[in-house]
Amino acid sequence: MTMVEGESRPAETGEPLVVLEGVNKWFGKLHVLQDINLTIKRGEVVVVIGPSGSGKSTLCRAINRLETIDEGSITLDGQPLPQEGKALAHLRAEVGMVFQSFNLFAHKSILENVTLGPIKVRKKSRAEAETRGKELLDRVGIGHQADKYPAQLSGGQQQRVAIARALAMDPKVMLFDEPTSALDPEMIKEVLDVMVDLAERGMTMVVVTHEMGFARTAADRVLFMADGQVVEENTPEQFFTNPQSDRAKDFLGKIL
């Protein structure tokens, strides 16, 4: 991936962080995840692309335990995903998720949106959570809007708050499920810029997106999914210039 000059990755870069082994899931008769084996290394940025309905969202949701799996295992930092209770709340903190729809708390201020989780789940003091929250809002360019409410912000601004809110939990990995798909075109770049910055800081990221510019700039690896399977896996350079499967060639032909 691209690195800012002089910046180095954390020492532990490269160890397996999220590991999926033999993961299968069905929705009734639909075999939505078919024998997925995937290792995401610490500091790695993995872009997942593929046609609608191929299982990309389900894959992300399984890593965050928003969906259960029927077979196989998923581990985070060597630990199986917890099933319930406090441990599950902690997992959701460790695996930050940003959705297409920003899902901010509508009746909380922007600052409260980013401090609530750290206070409740991470047991930080309000002062500590606010200092860190303001720092993160500054980082995503929303610092001066901290006292506003979500509806007063544009879609791009709300999505940047959603990213700051996830980061405030000190996640080990960030999942992005089509984070720019609901945005007006002029707002896409401001969100992608925040994501590129995050990638350059060494965050481990799984990003479902059709933004090829982002994939080329930030991804270490592209996964192409179709019909519940990882059909192809390659560097962005190789994937975009020399796709191997007919499914990938067909898909790229439609979107590029």
Residue type at position 75 = T
* Residue 32 interacts with which of Mg ion, ligand ADP, none, CB < 5 to 8 Å by class: ligand ADP
End-to-end Cα separation, the chain, in angstroms: 22
Q: Cβ closer to Mg ion: 146 or 183?
A: 183
Q: Cβ closer to ligand ADP: 27 or 105?
A: 27
Residues in contact with Mg ion, shown as a per-residue x/- string from 42 to 61 under the rule CB under 5 A: --------------xx----
Q: Which two tokens stand for residue 12?
A: 């532990």
Question: Taking the alpha carbons of 197, 193, 141, 128 in that order, is the dihedral positive or negative?
Answer: negative
Q: Which two tokens stand for residue 164?
A: 């700051």
Please, what is the minimum distance in Å from the beta carbon of residue 52 to Mg ion? 7
- Residue 44, sorted as left (phi over 0), alpha (psi -120 to 50) or beta, turns out to be beta
Q: Cβ closer to ligand ADP: 33 or 199?
A: 33
Q: Cβ closer to Mg ion: 56 or 65?
A: 56
List, in sequence order, every residue forming a beta bridge with 233; answer none if it has no partner. Answer: 223
Helix, strand, coil shares of the chain, percent, nearest 5, are 40, 25, 35
* Residue 165 interacts with which of ligand ADP, Mg ion, none, CB < 5 to 8 Å by class: none
**What whole-number distance in Å separates Cα of residue 191 and Cα of residue 207?**
13
Name the residue whose CB lies closest to Mg ion. 57
55 SS3 class: coil
Residues contributing to the site for ligand ADP (CB under 6 A):
27, 30, 32, 50, 52-58
Q: Cβ closer to Mg ion: 51 or 155?
A: 51
Query: Which DSSP string do the residues of 13-54 spell out, in sequence order?
Result: TTSEEEEEEEEEEEETTEEEEEEEEEEEETT-EEEEE--TTS
Cβ contact 39:77 at 8 Å: no
Q: Which two tokens stand for residue 148?
A: 């506003």
Q: Cβ closer to ligand ADP: 53 or 141?
A: 53
Binding site for Mg ion (CB under 5 A): 56-57
